[in-house]
């Protein structure tokens, strides 16, 4: 069984401000497509969040799509109990210091992408055409396909591959315009840990899946 973590609110804004330029920090200047917003490779850099009005407590989703951040003690617990990868999240002031001397207060959960699709393409296409008038678009810049977005309740039941990981992202990309995101699934244990650490930030809901 897989769980979905659904954002109840967002906390924190990416740095630098504006557009989607924070993606250059995560994936490199040439590591994401300016046209469709899809990263072209693995994340190589740290997420940087503006410190203004952000208390890095518990677990939360910043205002930039589906990234999950957590305070350092919770990251230690997640790392010791589950097979998860975490990457330091930094404040802008910390970028001026030697990385070895920075006291990391928060971490991002890295969610590996699965290598097989979650959805039957015909079934997904039918649902998205009915909702949006089109299923998705092929990006002329990078050649990647992106499905139109839809809340999970209205999607067909996904077939999420079972793997020995505590979190997995869909092979499919979704989004409109420059927005691009994957769907995520979490093991019940990890979902419970994160929901209990941030009940006002994240809801844990079972994915209806047929695998
Ligand atoms: Zn593209």
pLDDT tens-digit profile of 116-149? 999 999 999 999 999 999 999 999 999 999 999 9
Contact 70, 79 (CB under 8 A): no
pLDDT greater than 80 at residue 19:
no
Query: How many angstroms separate the alpha carbon of residue 183 from the centre of ligand 1?
Result: 18
pLDDT tens-digit profile of 175-193? 999 999 999 999 999 999 9
Query: How many angstroms separate the alpha carbon of residue 37 from the centre of ligand 1?
Result: 6
Q: Is 87 helix (H, G, I), strand (E, B) or coil?
A: strand
The CB-side HSE value for 168 (13 A sphere, CA atoms) comes to 23
- As beta bridge partners, residue 147 has 136, 174
Query: How many angstroms separate the alpha carbon of residue 142 from the centre of ligand 1?
Result: 4
Query: How many angstroms separate the alpha carbon of residue 177 from the centre of ligand 1?
Result: 10
Query: How many angstroms separate the alpha carbon of residue 51 from the centre of ligand 1?
Result: 31
């Amino acid at each position: 069984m897989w769980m979905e973590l659904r954002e109840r609110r967002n906390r924190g804004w990416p740095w630098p401000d504006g557009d989607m330029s924070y993606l250059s920090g995560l994936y490199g200047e040439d590591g994401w497509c300016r046209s469709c917003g899809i990263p072209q490779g693995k994340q190589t850099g740290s997420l940087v969040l503006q410190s203004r009005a952000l208390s890095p407590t518990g677990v939360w989703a910043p205002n930039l799509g589906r990234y999950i951040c957590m305070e350092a003690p919770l990251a230690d617990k997640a790392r010791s109990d589950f097979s998860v990868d975490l990457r330091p999240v930094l404040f802008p002031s910390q970028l001026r210091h030697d990385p070895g001397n920075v006291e990391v207060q928060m971490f991002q959960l890295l969610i590996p992408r699965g290598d097989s699709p979650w959805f039957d393409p015909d079934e997904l296409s039918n649902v998205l055409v009915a909702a949006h008038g089109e299923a998705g678009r092929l990006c002329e810049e990078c050649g990647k396909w992106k499905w139109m977005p839809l809340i999970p309740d209205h999607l067909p039941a996904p077939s999420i591959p079972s793997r020995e990981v505590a979190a997995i992202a869909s092979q499919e990309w979704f989004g409109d315009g420059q927005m691009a995101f994957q769907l995520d699934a979490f093991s019940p244990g990890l979902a419970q840990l994160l929901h209990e650490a941030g009940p006002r930030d994240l809801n844990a809901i079972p994915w209806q899946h047929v695998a």
